[in-house]
Chain A
Amino acid sequence: MKIHVDFDSQWEEGLLDKIESDGPWANWELYKLAVEVEKHLVVPEFEGLQAPKHLPQLKPLPHQLEAAREVVENMHGKAILGDEVGLGKTIEAGLILKEYMIRGLVKKVLILVPASLVSQWAYELNSKFHIPAVAQRKSYVWEAYDVVISSIDTAKKQPHRDIIFEQQYDLIIVDEAHKLKNNKTKNYEFVQSLKKKFCLLLTATPIQNRVDEIFHLVSLLKPGHLGNASLFAERFKGKKRDLNEDKRLKELVNKVMIRNRRADTGIEWTKRHVETVLIEFTEQERALYEAVSAFKPYGNESIGSAFSTLTLQREACSSRESVYYTLKKMLQKTEDPDAFYETKLKPIYALIDSIEQNSKAEKALELIKKIEDKVIIFTEYRATQMYLQWFLKTNGISSVPFRGGFKRGKKDWMKDLFEKQFQVLIATEAGGEGINLQFCHHLINFDLPWNPMRLEQRIGRVHRLGQEHDVMIYNFATRNTVEEHILKLLYDKIQLFERVVGELDDILTKLDIGKIEDYLIDVVGHSKTEGEMRIKMENLSSMISFAQDIKKGEMNAASGNS
C-alpha cells in the first residue's frame, strides 16, 4: 500500500528569501504564540466531534449530536438526513458542515434549498455556526465565496450551471430533497451530474416515498447501494410496495439514512391547550355580515362569486376595515365604477359606517389584559392588522407588526422589540421563513385560516423545541357565521390544534386530497343546504381520522411494537 505524502514547499522558498535578505525575522513572543495556537488547532483523533467546542452558544440536542457523529464516522459524509419535522435537520447539517470545515476536509460548499429558504439558511449558518455562507445573488458569487446557498432552479440555469461545474465542491447539501424523487426531472439530472465528494440530502418525508422513489434518492447519494435500475425494477416489478415491508431494503436504506422520530428523541414536548372563544356580533356588525352574504357583485351565478362572497363573509368576521379594503379593490377593477358604487357598494358602505365597535377586538383587549404576558395575535388580513395596532394603542397597549414580506433584518428587529419591550405582536403571515418565538406561549387566532398547514405554521412559531411552557391557543370565532361552521365542524372534530408539530404534515401528504383549503371553499361555498355541508364535513373528518389510524399502525410497525 502506497500513501501519497506531500511536503509543503512554499515555506522553504520563504526561508531562503529571508536568509538572502537577512530578515526581517519574526518576534520570538509571536513565534511562541503561533506554536501554541497550532497545538490547539491540531485535531489528534479521527473520531469525535470538534464542532461543539467551537459553538458554545449553540445547544444541540443529544439526537442531533449523535446524528452528526454517525454521518461523519460511519456514513463517511454521504447521508440522507430524514428526521421528522421539527427535530432540527438544519442543525444536524450545520454541525456536520462545521465539523468538516474545522478539520479542513471541506472548503467549497454548495447548498441547494427552495428559493424561499435561501436567506433563512444564510442567516442560520452565519449566526448559529459562524460559517460565512453567502446567498447567491450575482454570478460572481460562485467563484468569490466558499459557502454558497442557492435554489436549484437558479443553479441549473445558464450562466450559473457552467460556472458551478467549474468549481471543485467538497460538500453538497440539498434541502427538501424529496423533491428529487423523480429521476426524469431536470433538477434530478442536475444534482446527479454534480460531483459529490460529501453530500447531505435533507428531507422530512423519505419513508412515505414509494420504493422506486427511495431508489432514486439513494442512487443520487451512493449509486449502486441499492443495486442498479433494472435489477431493482425486476425485484419490485408491479408491486407498489411500501418500504417498511421489505426488511432487507430497509436495512440498506438505514445505512445511509438518519431518521429520528419525535417519540425516540425523549424530548418532552409541552402541551397545547385550546380554548374556543365565541363572539357575539353587535347589531350593526350582524347587519354588515348579512349584507355581504347577500352581496352578488357580478350578477347572480357567475364563477368565483361564491369565493368572493365567502371572502367578504370571513372579512366581516374579522374587521369592517378589511371588508372596506376588499370592496375598494373590487371597485377599482370594475368597468363602470360609478354605477357599481351607486348600485352595489353604497348600501354596504353605509353599514360599515354605522359600526361603532369591533366585538372581537374588544374581546382580544380583555384577554390581553387578563393574560399579562406576551401574546401573539394572528390575522389573515392586513387591514385588520393595522386596525388592531391602532385599537390597542388607543387602549394603552403597544404592539409590533409582523409580515412575511419584511426583510430579514426588519423581522429580527421586530422580534427583538417584541421580546424585550412590547407585550403584543400582530402578525399576518406565519410563513416558512418566519421567526421563532418560543419565548411566548399565548397565541390568539383572531380569524382562522382555512388551510390547516398555515395554522400549523402559526402554532409552530411558538410550539417548538425550546418552548418551556404549555402553549395556550385562543381561537376566536363569531357565532352564527361561516367561521363557527369551520371551527366546529373541522377543527373541533379532528382536534387539529392539539396535534404535535409535523403530524398533520404527514397525514395530509397521505390523504392526497389536494389543497384542503379549496376543498373547504367548495364545501362551504357550494353546498345548497346546511345538511349537505354537514355531511361533506363529516366525510372529510372521517377521512382524516382514517389516515391518522394508518399512521399509528405504521409507527407501531416501525418501532416493532405490533
Chain B
Amino acid sequence: MQQAEIHKFLIQYFESNDCEIVETHPGYFVVQLTIDQDKLLMNRPFYWHYLEKTGGEPNPAKLTIITDPEQAPDDIKGEFIHFGSPRLHQIFETTKQLSSYIRLFEDCKSSSQQNPLFPWLGLNVKVSFQCNRKKDIFLSLGLNLISGQIHEAFHDQVLSLSVTPKIPDYSYTLSPLIMPKSGIARLDTHIRTSLSFEDHSWAEEAFTRWNNDLELLENFYQDQDKGESYETEKEALREQYEPRISIKVINGGLFYLSEAAI
C-alpha cells in the first residue's frame, strides 16, 4: 500500500464511520472521532467507563494523521501512519470487524415494471497454504440460492452494479431454495474441489523436510531413552512442517440481484 493509498483509505474509513474530517491537506489531515470510534481506536476504557458513571460531557479525541512527512509542515504534531504502523493495522482490524455481514439489493432503476431479485450468497475468503512457510490467495464466490450456480470473482461483479441496503420500489425478492447454511457448505465443497487441482509441490516438499528431520531425531535418540524431550521435539517438528490449508471468511452476506446482473 503506497502512502497515497493509505491517505485515501483512512479518509474513506473515517467518513464511512461518520467521523468529520476537520482539515485536510496534502500529507496530513485532522479528524474528529465519534464516540464509537474513540472507543474502538483510542484504547481508553477507563475514561469511558468513568464518564458513563459520572454522566460527564464526552469528549472524543481529535486525531492529526500524517501520511507523508515530506509534505506535512515540520511543526505539525501528529501520528505518522505507514503500512507497518500498529494504528493502521488496528484500523484494518476494525474495518473487518465492522463489515463482516452485509445484505444488499440491486437498484435496477427501472420505471414501473415489477422486478424480481434473485438471492445470492456472497463470500470473500482468504485461503492460506501453510507449512513452515505460508502464502495466501483471495477468492470471492457467489452462489445463486435458487439455481445453485456458482460464480467466481463475485465481489468485482457486484462492484459494477448499483446497490442499496433497502429494497427498492417495484422490486421484490424471490425466496431461496437453498438455505444459507447449506449454501455455505456448498461453497466450502466448491473451494475444496478446486484446491485439489492445484499444484501442491509445496506440501510434498514440506513432507520431505519433515521426514528428514524426523530421521535425524530418531538417530539422535538412538542410544538414549526417548523420554519427554523426544516427544516435545517430535511435536515441534509437526508444528513446524505439517502442511495445512485454512479457509477464512473475510466478509460476505446476502445479495439480491436481478436476473441480468450475473
Contact = CB atoms under 8 A, between A and B. Distances in A.
A14 B252 CA distance: 11
B98 to A, nearest CB: 6
Given A44-B135, A197-B236, A34 B99 contact: yes
Interface in A47-92: 53-57, 72-73, 76-78
A43 to B, nearest CB: 6
A487 B233 CA distance: 54
6 contacts: A26-B101, A28-B102, A54-B84, A104-B128, A170-B239, A229-B224
Nearest to A170: B239
Interface in B134-166: 134-138, 140, 155, 159, 163, 165
Contact of A5 (B17, B195, B217, B222): B195
Contact of B95 (A4, A33, A53): A33
A256 B202 CA distance: 21
A32 interface: yes
B221 to A, nearest CB: 7
A16 B179 CA distance: 10
A19 to B, nearest CB: 6
B101 A15 contact: yes
A196 B236 contact: yes
A34 B254 contact: no
Contact of B202 (A7, A46, A105, A197): A46
Given A11-B252, A34-B250, A76-B209, A224 B220 contact: yes
B165 A28 contact: yes
A462 B221 CA distance: 49
A228 B223 contact: yes
Q: On chain A, which size bracket covers the interface?
A: 35 or more
Interface centre among B102, B134, B202, B235 (most CB of A within 10 A): B102
A41 B92 contact: yes
A170 to B, nearest CB: 8
Which 4 pairs of residues, A with B, have the shortest CB-CB distance? Answer: A224-B216, A54-B84, A224-B220, A11-B249
Contacts of A36: 9
Interface stretch (B22-30, B108-116, B240-248): B240-248
A54 B200 contact: no
B154 to A, nearest CB: 11
Nearest to B250: A38
A31 B86 contact: no
A193 B101 contact: no
B100 A11 contact: yes
B43 interface: no
Contacts of A342: none
A250 interface: no
A7 B247 contact: yes
A41 B253 CA distance: 21
A15 B102 CA distance: 9
B213 interface: yes
Interface in A94-111: 103-105
A227 B244 contact: no
Interface in B225-245: 228-229, 232-233, 235-236, 239-245
Nearest to B103: A25
B207 interface: yes
Contacts of A4: 242-245
A16 B185 CA distance: 13
B126 A222 contact: no
B229 A26 contact: no
A42 B163 CA distance: 27
Nearest to B15: A29
B135 A105 contact: no
A106 to B, nearest CB: 10
Q: On chain B, which size bracket covers the interface?
A: 35 or more
Contacts, number: 209
A172 to B, nearest CB: 10
Contacts of B180: 15-16, 19
B218 interface: yes
A35 B188 contact: no
A37 B101 contact: no
Contacts of B184: 12, 15
Contacts of B236: 195-197
B248 A55 contact: no
Given A26-B99, A103-B134, A130 B85 contact: yes
A270 to B, nearest CB: 28
A28 to B, nearest CB: 6
B32 interface: no
A369 interface: no
B138 A27 contact: no
A56 B82 contact: yes
Nearest to B220: A224
Nearest to A39: B138
Interface centre among A45, A73, A194, A224 (most CB of B within 10 A): A224
A34 B251 contact: yes
B260 interface: no
A346 to B, nearest CB: 59
B12 A5 contact: no
B177 to A, nearest CB: 16
A195 B243 CA distance: 19
B16 A222 contact: no
Given A27-B99, A46-B134, A56-B83, A222 B213 contact: yes
B54 to A, nearest CB: 29
Given A42-B137, A192-B229, A132 B101 contact: no
A199 to B, nearest CB: 9
B53 interface: no
A3 B203 contact: yes
B125 to A, nearest CB: 9
B16 A195 contact: no
Contacts of B200: 1, 3
Interface centre among B203, B241, B248 (most CB of A within 10 A): B248
Interface string B122-138: 00101011101111111
B250 A35 contact: yes
A7 B128 CA distance: 11
A40 B243 CA distance: 24
B77 interface: no
A3 B241 CA distance: 12
Nearest to A17: B101
A35 B153 CA distance: 12
A224 B102 contact: no
Given A15-B101, A56-B82, A222-B216, 6 more contacts: A28-B104, A31-B251, A42-B136, A224-B217, A224-B218, A228-B224
